[in-house]
Amino acid sequence: MRYAPLAPELFVENRRRFRELLPPASLAIFQSNDVMPTNADGTMAFRQNNDLFYLSGVDQEESILVIFPDARLPQHREILFLKETSEHILIWEGYKLTKDEARENSGIKTIMWLDSFKSVLPALMNEAENVYLNSNEHIRAVVEVETRDARFVKMLQSQYPLHNYRRASRLLHQLRAIKSPEEIRVMRQACDITGKAFRRLLGFVKPGVWEFEIEAEIVHEFMRNRSRGPAYGSIVASGKNANVLHYTTNDNQCQDGDVILLDFGAEYANYAADLSRSIPVNGKFTLRQRQVYDSVLAVMAFAKTRLVAGTEIEEYHRLVGECMEQELIKLDLLNASDVKNQDPAAPLYKKYFMHGTSHYLGLDVHDVGYKYRVFEPGMVYTIEPGIYIPAEGLGIRLENDILITPGGNEDLMADIPLQADTIEDLMAAGR
């Protein structure tokens, strides 16, 4: 792994919190993600299942985690099964964790090789009444391939049909929404790397560069700072492309006079950062571009005052929407009278700001957690208002990552340039 090892106490504590949510006689089993194929004998880069990583810190394929607090044998209460290495694997795939390394990284005492799982499983199932199994239950997930989790669920239920099967994801969503100090430290690192990449771009962007060249600069800065790479597909959208919310083709040439909407974030130790900035290709905003930019910035500042403990997300989005309405009126994009008489179920501002203002952030960019849970200290959310005007070939979005604290919130990206004047000054200095 490229990143510095995380403290094993993080995973010990995560498992402790998870155990507290289990009823008596409950067994939980977590699978690593599959190594996904491309074509012929090719494979994609491996990305660990976030729930297994959250509970174990193991970043290796073909791993299984068992948590069984009431197991009769103490050595069965936490078991980590790993792929055993061999001379062939070492030559063709590379290094794999030893048992001692897995113990050190995870804090789990009982480490077994994967081929022992089938022989240990019957004893575990014989003692268990409830069996917690995992699945991807993100409300926006579109799962079109059969996952390792899904195959295991079918296998286990066919062999042991009389157990009480339950959903581990509901418990993990509850836990992962609140970040520990170690998780926040790692997310700060991801934000710091992202900020370095953005500053690099301010000295690189100029008329005539290609969007993919900008993307290459981002990836270069990420990887030289021990990041695996982008936490999601980087958006480098110049001119009219900024009006495509998930534009990732990044294959256009940047023109003098256009604004580039950048949406990217580093992944560090499997945790994500998520940044959006909008910068002028030639280093100077036009009057109209600056007006729109300042309106988005004003909505962002307002949203930050409302992203605090005790607020409900529906109320939060309603208030942010009202702020956006006023900014759009100032920009002559909406009429005050029309806004006053609008259908509350279909607010007019959605024509120019059609996505949500905030989402959970953590091991996933759109991290798991109950959507309607009241904001609590320890949650990390994005704030990302935007105004998109296809008729003007202009789209501007600004986004920072915010930690909710007992006394308000903390901007984890406060050191990354945001004000339009600052961006223009830094772009001028880099030329």
Residue 250 falls in which region: left (phi positive, over 0), alpha (psi -120 to 50) or beta: left
Q: Residue 68 to residues 16, 51, 151: CA-CA distances in angstroms?
A: 11, 16, 21
SS3 381: strand
List b or e across 245-274, with b for residues whose CB sees 16 or more CB atoms inside 10 angstroms: eebbebebebeeebbbbbbbbbbbbbbbbb
**What are the catalytic residues?**
41, 246, 263, 274, 355, 359, 366, 384, 388, 397, 399
Q: Are 324 and 333 in contact (CB under 8 A)?
A: no
Chain centroid to Cα 80, Å, comes to: 25
- Lookup: tokens for 4: 């510095």
Burial tier of 18 (Cβ tally within 10 Å: 0-12, 13-18, 19+): buried
**Which residue do the tokens 């969007």 mark?**
211
Measured between alpha carbons, how far is 110 from 226 in angstroms, rounded to an integer?
30
Nearest Cα to 46, choosing from 56, 57, 32?
A: 32
3-state secondary structure 130-199: EEEECCCCCCCCCCCCCCHHHHHHHHHHHHCCCCEEEEHHHHHHHHHCCCCHHHHHHHHHHHHHHHHHHH
